[in-house]
Amino acid sequence: MDAESAVTTCFRHPKVESHVRCTRCDRYMCPDCMREAAVGHQCTECVKEGARSIRQARTAFGGRVTAVPIVTYVLVGLNVLAYLGELVRPALLGRFDMLGTVAPGYYPEGVAHGEWYRLLTSGFLHLPPGQGIGVVHIVMNMASLWTVGRVVEGQLGRVRYLALYLLSLLGGSVLELLISPEARCVGASGAIFGLGAAYFVLARRLGFAADAVNRSMTGLLLWLVASSWFASWQGHLGGLLTGGAVALAYAYAPRGDRRALIQAGACAALLVLLVGLTWAKVSGLAGGAV
């Protein structure tokens, strides 16, 4: 055998001479394709294959474990950006706030006149300076979202947490539509009350100290009552009830391969219910159009 035929090369880079074998697949690899392993070295392809075979860590409720509550950060950022937009263009408030319909004789607008997007966009707007409690509105809501949201996201994972937040927001808007269709409402409070209800349900499911959990829920209910003088109690209550319902589905879905399907099904059923209630209400409003 001549010297040239005895030269071994990397399986990915045939022109690169290699003398180290992968401890998993036994192929020669160059330094660029080499990764340190517990014993010896492995090639990049074996490292990727091994990573796929490792079971992804899950929370007690089936979500993926994440170290950074990125969804909470994004939600806070979106609310702050929307508020800055209001300051630059005050007309945005009246264009995207929660409004079911207008009194007879006014220019038709609102959910009953096809503007269903208001059910969600209103949850990212807050009272501007000079109206109600002004800037305190967004400061209190974002502080609550920052405090409670990070905890709930850590327990549920990003996807389940985002579904909980949006459904709670929608639930608050739908109750506003059902009870006070001519009222203009803004704020993330409905979604935040949903997170508060979820925190209570999840904490009880995990066996946290009952006294501490009950105190948290009592405080949340007292805040619901106290805040009704300057904000929409309908939105708060709607978010609270919706968030509690979603959290119950998350917390008590049976473990196993079908848990995620059951949780998703419960969220979908709740969404259908909220859409159905909205459709029934706007269909019954005078001059409503869907």
A 10 A CB-CB count for 12 gives 16
Q: 21 by DSSP, 3-state: which?
A: strand
The sign of the torsion formed by the CA atoms of 185, 268, 152, 225 equals positive
Q: How many residues does the chain have?
A: 290
CB atoms < 10 A from the CB of 100, how many?
Answer: 29
Say how many C-beta atoms besides its own lie within 10 A of residue 149's C-beta.
25
pLDDT of the residue at 172:
95
Distance between CA atoms of residues 126 and 19, nearest Å:
65
Cβ partners under 8 Å of residue 149, min gap 6:
69, 71, 72, 75, 76, 161, 165, 192, 195
pLDDT at residue number 289: 46
pLDDT of res. 230:
60
Which of the residues in the chain have pLDDT under 50? 1-4, 288-290
Residue partners of 178: CB distance under 8 A and separation at least 6: 234, 277, 281
Strands (E), 1-143: 20-21, 28-29, 34-36, 41-43
Position 122 scores a pLDDT of: 95
Q: Tell me the per-residue pLDDT of 35-54, one tens digit each, with 9 for 90 and over.
A: 887 677 888 888 887 766 55
Of the candidates 27, 26, 24, 22, the residue with the CA atom closest to the CA atom of residue 11: 27
Beta strands in the chain (DSSP E): 20-21, 28-29, 34-36, 41-43
Q: Is-contact 59 263, C-beta < 8 A?
A: no
Domains in the chain (CATH in brackets) are 1-54 (no CATH), 70-280 (1.20.1540.10)
